[in-house]
Amino acid sequence: MSYLVLARKWRPNTFEELTGQEAIARILRNAVSVGKVAHAYIFSGPRGVGKTTTARILAKALNCENGPTPDPCGTCRSCSAITDGSSMDVAEIDGASNTGVDNIRDLRERVKYAAASSQYKIYIIDEAHMLSTAAFNALLKTLEEPPPHVIFVLATTEPKKIPATVLSRCQHLPFRRIALKAIVQRLRQIATAEGIDITDGALEMVARAAEGGMRDALTLLDQVTSFADSITADEVKDLLGLTDTENLAAMLGAVIEGRSRDIVAGIAELTDTGMDLKVYMRDLLTFTRNLLITRIVGEPEGVLDVGESERAVLVSLAKLTSEEHIALLLSDLIKAEPAVRSALYPRVVFEMALLRLSLMHRFTSIDDAFRVLGGESPAPRKLAPPATPYTSPAARKTPPPVEKKTGEAPRSAKPSPAPTPAAVPKPATASGMPLEAVWQAALQRIDKESHLLFFRIQEGEVSCEGGEITILFNGGQSVHADSVTESLPSIRALVNEIAGRPVRVTVDTRESKTVSKTELKEQALRNPLIREALELFDGRIMDVKPANSQGGDHV
Ligand SMILES: Nc1ncnc2c1ncn2[C@@H]1O[C@H](COP(=O)(O)OP(=O)(O)O)[C@@H](O)[C@H]1O
Ligand SMILES: [Mg+2]
Ligand SMILES: [Zn+2]
């Protein structure tokens, strides 16, 4: 007996069995129950998430000998014929190979005749976006006056390529990627039924690699089971060349804490084991995004679609640093990713990108980090003491292990970057100081004396060009502008004192195109709708950067 691959053997036969497409199942079941099935549907979505499967279940629901019923029996003649693809009334047409208009004409001829043995004739057109314009036009004619017993299901991964005229005559049901947990559950059910000995960690890994596609998950499960009788996460990792969460956590931990030696050693280890750095980079990016969300919400359960082992690692790693820091890392990783992907020597680019990011831990504010990433050196006062020689035991292992089991923050954890007042430049000797440094020193004093004023100044854009300091506020910030203007005399006195010479300090409230950095950051980071917030954030953190700070592109 030939081996039937799991993906085919375990194709769901009922709406009940369909995993992760509950909304669609509900809509279709309801349509069948009340007899209001549309003449044409578009099932859109990524590959392997159940479009064809659902089309067949719908066909069974309509043509089951006990039906139409939302719960087709699966065993009657009609149901079994649909399952094994021999039903006369259900035609599966591959849009990719039947792009010609003739096929559709032929189809139009055929739809005139009533269903052979059942109530409905169902045409499932797979990869429908591949049909030619002429074929679409022919199809459109049928859709304009659909015979009562005919149902079309157009399945496509690219609904945007379906002409609007066709779209508007179909009910559009978008299929989603399936949640990791749902995939793991289904895999567990199948593994148990098949007598496959596999750990939860391994299933989680398979599911993660499938990226929301059930077909891919089942294909991967087939692959790993053909190699070993009992499977653990380690085996899956090796077999599929996957990145494991602990390695990602170790690498990101080294970046966060600025342990450049560990980064270099970690990358060497990755290359030695034949890891594709482009894949690793992408995984690191996703992992950092998950870390940011974890840092924001504290407990990612129910917010992030990650397995239990990744969740634990994220929670402990998130304690290492601030939201701001992780956000910056993420936005720069996003920019470095295409550079790594297209690099001739990905290792060099990857190393550079991570080492550069690891410098970030030394700077106390987001602005400093922006400056560094933009290629300038930071204002002197913000340089933390030189990095202490690395002594953690983690240094000796590559990549550094993450201390995650305890659930508490690792001992080596640095608190989120704090100001280092010790480094304030001495006013007496500072007459030749660059204005930028003067301003940074002044700001620090202001912060000590009036945090509110400091905060208000930070809301503006400060420029130290042309030998003068300008604090620019945009239209919506008049409250800040007014109160900073009121304090200008004392700000000027302070600046003059530090600079040892008179410096012009002005407040400008012209309309500015730029929105305040803090405003943006806050909008993004505090938004309770985390998923949306993150999208917003991803899109905007780049805006926050000054135009000359596009770090990452040129690494
Ligand atoms: N939502 C799902 N629930 C359970 N199994 C699924 C689901 N989606 C896909 N599968 C599995 O993947 C295989 C291929 O699914 P299919 O419906 O052909 O995907 P699509 O048409 O979206 O590319 C099915 O035979 C089934 O084993
Ligand atoms: Mg399909
Ligand atoms: Zn039946």
Of all residues in the chain, what percent carry a pLDDT higher than 90?
A: 37
Closest ligand, as measured to the CA of 53: 1
Give the C-alpha separation, 32 to 15, whole Å: 12
pLDDT tens string 195-219 = 999 999 899 989 988 989 999 999 9
Residue 244: predicted pLDDT:
77
Cα of 21 from ligand 1 centre, angstroms? 11
- 532 within some domain: no
> From the alpha carbon of 6, which atom of ligand 1 is closest?
27
Location of structure tokens 């036009």: 137
Strand (E) or helix (H) holding 533: helix 530-544
| Distance separating alpha carbons of residues 491 and 488, to the nearest angstrom | 5
Indicate if the pLDDT at residue 38 is higher than 90.
yes
Res. 274: pLDDT tops 70: yes
CA of 68 to the centre of ligand 3 (A): 9
Instruction: Establish if 522 belongs to a structural domain.
Output: no
One domain, residues 165 and 185: no
Segment 225-234 long-range contacts (CB within 8 Å, at least 24 positions apart):
225/196, 225/198, 229/197, 230/197, 230/198, 231/196, 231/197, 231/198, 231/199, 231/202, 232/198, 232/199, 232/201, 232/202, 233/199, 233/201, 233/202, 233/204, 233/205, 233/309
Query: Does 24 share its domain with 40?
Result: yes
- Would you give the DSSP letter of residue 386? P
pLDDT digits (tens, 9 = 90+) for 449-463: 777 788 788 878 888
Q: What is the CATH number of the domain that holds 201?
A: 1.10.8.60
Closest atom of ligand 1 to CA, residue 10: 27
215 inside domain: yes
Element (H, E) at 90: strand 90-94
Residue labelled with tokens 């314009």: 133
pLDDT at 382: 36
For a substitution probing ligand 1, which of 54, 183, 215 has the most ligand atoms within 8 Å of its CB? 215
DSSP H helices, 410-510, are 435-449, 451-459, 478-486, 488-499
Query: What number is the average pLDDT over the span 290-294?
Result: 94
Per residue in 16-45, is it b (16+ CB within 10 Å) or e — as a string?
ebbbbbeebbeebbebbeeeebbbbbbbbb
Neighbouring-strand partners of residue 92 = 124
Q: Count up the domains in the chain and report the number.
A: 4
Regarding whether 100 and 31 lie in a shared domain, the answer is yes
Q: Do 199 and 162 have their domain in common?
A: no
240, 274, 290 - which closes a domain: 240
Instruction: Judge whether 281 lies within some domain.
Output: yes
Q: Is residue 340 part of a domain?
A: yes
Q: How many whole angstroms from 237 Cα to the centroid of ligand 1?
A: 24
The pLDDT value recorded for residue 366 is 52
**Once rounded to an integer, what is the mean pLDDT over residues 495-504?**
86
In the predicted model, is pLDDT for residue 254 greater than 80? Answer: yes
Mention every residue, 6+ apart, whose C-beta is less than 8 A from residue 547.
none
CATH of the domain at 391: 1.20.272.10
- For residues 309 and 233, state if they share a domain: no
Whether the per-residue pLDDT at 530 is higher than 50: the answer is no
The answer, yes or no, to whether residue 379 has pLDDT greater than 60, is no
* Final residue before a domain boundary, out of 378, 396, 414: 396
Ligand 1, residue 20: give the atom nearest the CA: 1
Answer yes or no: is pLDDT of 464 > 90: no
Ligand 1 atom having least distance to the Cα of 53: 17
Q: For atom 18 of ligand 1, which residue has the closest CA?
A: 52
Q: What is the pLDDT of residue 48?
A: 94
Ligand 2 centre distance from Cα of residue 47 (Å): 7
Pocket-testing residue among 5, 10, 11, ligand 1, by greatest number of atoms within 8 A of Cβ: 11
Judgement on whether residues 79 and 93 belong to the same structural domain of the protein: yes
Burial class (CB in 10 A: 0-12, 13-18, 19+), 529: exposed
Q: How far is the CA of 127 from the centre of ligand 2 (A)?
A: 8
User: Is 549 domain-assigned?
Assistant: no
Q: For residue 417, what pLDDT is reported?
A: 43
Same domain? For 73 and 17 the reply is: yes
The residue ranking higher by pLDDT, 246 or 317, is 317
Above 70 in pLDDT, residue 46?
A: yes
- Give the closest residue (by CA) to ligand 1 atom 25: 11
Ligand 1 residue neighbourhood (C-beta within 6 Å): 7-8, 10-12, 18-21, 47-53, 155, 178, 186, 214-215, 218
**pLDDT of 99 above 80:** no
Q: Which of 396, 414, 447 is the last residue of a domain?
A: 396
Which atom of ligand 1 sits closest to the CA of residue 8? 25
CATH no. for residue 498?
3.30.300.180
Which of 207, 212, 130, 135 shows the shortest CA–CA distance to 178?
A: 212
Output the CA 38–ligand 2 centroid distance in Å: 20
Are 202 and 283 members of one domain? no
CATH number, position 146: 3.40.50.300
Please tell me whether residues 463 and 326 are part of one structural domain.
no
Position 147 scores a pLDDT of: 80
Query: Span 365-382, mean pLDDT?
Result: 50
Reported as half-sphere exposure (CB side, CA atoms, 13 A), residue 101 has a value of 7
Residue 290, H or E segment: helix 277-297
Residue 273 predicted with pLDDT over 70: yes
Q: Are residues 201 and 274 in the same domain?
A: no
Q: Are residues 21 and 131 in the same domain?
A: yes
Pick the ligand that lies closest to the CA of residue 73: 3
Averaged pLDDT, 420-425 = 41
Longest dimension (CA), the chain: 98
Is residue 518 in some structural domain? no
Return the SS3 of 161: helix
Tell which atom from ligand 1 comes closest to the C-alpha of 19: 3
Give the pLDDT band (50/70/90) at residue 73. Answer: very high
Taking 70 as the threshold, does the pLDDT of residue 428 lie above it?
A: no
Domain span holding position 328: 245-396
The H or E element spanning position 471 is strand 468-472
Residue 553 lies in a domain: no
On the 0-12 / 13-18 / 19+ scale of CB atoms within 10 A, 390 is middle
Instruction: Look over the chain and give the mean of its residue pLDDT values, rounded to a whole number.
Output: 78
Together in a domain, 220 and 163: no
